[in-house]
């Protein structure tokens, strides 16, 4: 019965198309694409010479940084992203700073992964690129700059 036990422990990876975003209830919904869920450490190189005269390079972690989150969705009449960005354009950055979450679901619609970000604000927004000979959905894009992101589930 070891094969049955192994199958019971198996967890399939999540299908990445089913996710949503919630930014303090002001911007919620489903997007077609999200990028920037992660962190990075800058690398500091220190060159040293050993007692035998051999040069080696030590690599140690430096500053921790988080990339911007980029969201894409098909354009609709909903202006929530544009209204949020307008706060920054008007100089109301304290009003624009929001905490939020990006949530992934399994095929039974149960939450399986969540990334929470802190003090996010919209640093860039772009609308669709209309073309008269195109048959594509118009996409709007929002870039969120934040101070930290963490996977919590």
Is the CATH number of domain 2-151 2.30.110? yes
Contacts of 107 (CB under 8 A, 6+ apart): 15, 18
Return the pLDDT at 68: 97
Helix (H) or strand (E) holding 137: none
Domain ranges of the chain: 2-151
What backbone torsions phi and psi does residue 40 show, to the nearest 5 degrees?
Answer: -150, 145
Are the beta carbons of 69 and 81 closer than 8 angstroms? no
Query: The pTM is what?
Result: 0.83
Which pLDDT value is given to residue 5?
62
The residues, ordered by sequence, that sit 6+ positions from 19 with a Cβ below 8 Å of its Cβ are 30, 31, 34, 102, 103, 104, 105
Cβ atoms of residues 31 and 73 within 8 Å: yes
Which pLDDT value is given to residue 2? 62
* Confidence at residue 18, expressed as pLDDT on a 0 to 100 scale: 79
Q: Which of 71, 85, 75 is nearest to 139 (CA)?
A: 75
Beta strands in the chain, from DSSP E residues, in sequence order: 19-23, 27-29, 33-35, 39-49, 55-66, 69-74, 98-105, 111-126, 139-145, 148-151
Mean pLDDT, 10 residues at a time, over the chain (153 residues)?
A: 63 76 84 93 96 95 96 91 96 97 88 94 94 90 97 94
């Amino acid at each position: 019965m070891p094969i049955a036990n192994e199958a019971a422990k198996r967890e399939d990876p999540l299908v990445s198309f089913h996710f949503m975003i919630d930014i303090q209830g002001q911007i919620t919904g489903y997007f077609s694409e999200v990028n920037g869920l992660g962190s990075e450490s800058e690398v500091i190189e220190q060159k040293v010479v050993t007692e035998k005269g051999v040069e080696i390079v030590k690599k140690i972690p430096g500053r921790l940084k988080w990339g911007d989150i980029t969201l894409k969705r098909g354009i609709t009449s909903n202006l929530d992203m544009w209204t949020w960005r307008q706060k920054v354009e008007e100089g109301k950055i304290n009003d624009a700073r929001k905490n939020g979450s990006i949530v992934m679901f399994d095929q039974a619609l149960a939450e399986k992964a969540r990334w929470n970000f802190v003090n996010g604000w919209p640093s860039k927004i772009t609308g669709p690129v209309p073309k008269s000979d195109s048959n594509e959905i118009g996409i709007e894009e929002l870039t969120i700059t934040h101070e930290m992101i963490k996977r919590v589930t």
